[in-house]
């Protein structure tokens, strides 16, 4: 059975065990979540505490990965492309000069140290439904 096809058949949720994230970032095609013009692929992704998720912009337009700060676990670290410290700062920066996004083939990674649900959004395409969620299991 084709493993990728099998995983997609499971509703787009894949279990990944990532170690050595620095090495992972060196590879061209090594990422967990890609991006189309208006969506994360997959838009739901399940990992375990301590795993690192790598996003790659596999589309030709700029996108952000911006945590919904008010909806992630209270003791969890905020994450966002552009290295902002909260969602509003990321929104303001994008509105002001389009900063904080990643372009084609650029990657962003975050290590999740707290279990729970982590919804995130692409700021410029929020209205288009470009929203994703990382589920971090114990």
- Token pair, residue 58, equals 């596999």
| H or E stretch covering 94 | helix 87-97
Q: Does 54 bind Cu ion (CB under 5 A)?
A: no
DSSP label at 17?
-
- Residue 48 sits at the vertex; the CA angle it makes with 43 and 53, to the nearest 5 degrees, is 50
Give the integer Cα–Cα distance in Å for 73 and 69. Answer: 9
Per rule CB under 5 A, count of chain residues that contact Cu ion: 4
Q: Which of 51, 63, 69, 94 binds Cu ion (CB under 5 A)?
A: 63
The one segment of 15-23, 56-64, 85-93, 105-113 that binds Cu ion by CB under 5 A: 56-64
What does DSSP say about strands 107-111 and 44-48: parallel, antiparallel, or unpaired?
unpaired
Whether residue 76 contacts residue 118, with contact meaning beta carbons closer than 8 Å, is answered with: yes
How deeply is 3 buried, as exposed, middle or buried, from its count of CB atoms within 10 A (0-12, 13-18, 19+)? exposed
Q: Does 39 bind Cu ion (CB under 5 A)?
A: no
Q: Does 110 bind Cu ion (CB under 5 A)?
A: no
Nearer to Cu ion, 72 or 130 (CB): 130
The one segment of 16-24, 57-65, 71-79, 106-114 that binds Cu ion by CB under 5 A: 57-65
Q: Does 65 bind Cu ion (CB under 5 A)?
A: no
The one segment of 20-28, 43-51, 92-100, 115-123 that binds Cu ion by CB under 5 A: 115-123
Nearer to Cu ion, 60 or 88 (CB): 60
Nearer to Cu ion, 51 or 84 (CB): 84
């Amino acid at each position: 059975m084709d493993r990728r096809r099998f995983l997609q058949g499971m509703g787009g949720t894949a279990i990944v065990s990532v170690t050595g994230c620095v090495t992972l970032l060196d590879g061209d095609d090594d990422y967990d979540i890609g991006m189309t013009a208006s969506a994360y692929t997959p838009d739901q992704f399940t990992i375990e505490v301590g795993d690192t998720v790598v996003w790659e912009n596999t589309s030709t337009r700029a996108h952000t990965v911006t945590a919904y700060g008010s909806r992630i676990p209270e003791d969890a670290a905020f994450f966002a492309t552009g290295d902002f410290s909260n969602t509003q700062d990321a929104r303001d920066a994008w509105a002001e000069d389009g900063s904080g996004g990643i372009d084609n083939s650029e990657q962003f990674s975050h290590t999740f140290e707290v279990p729970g649900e982590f919804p995130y959004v692409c700021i410029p395409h929020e209205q288009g439904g470009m929203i994703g969620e990382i589920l971090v299991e114990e």
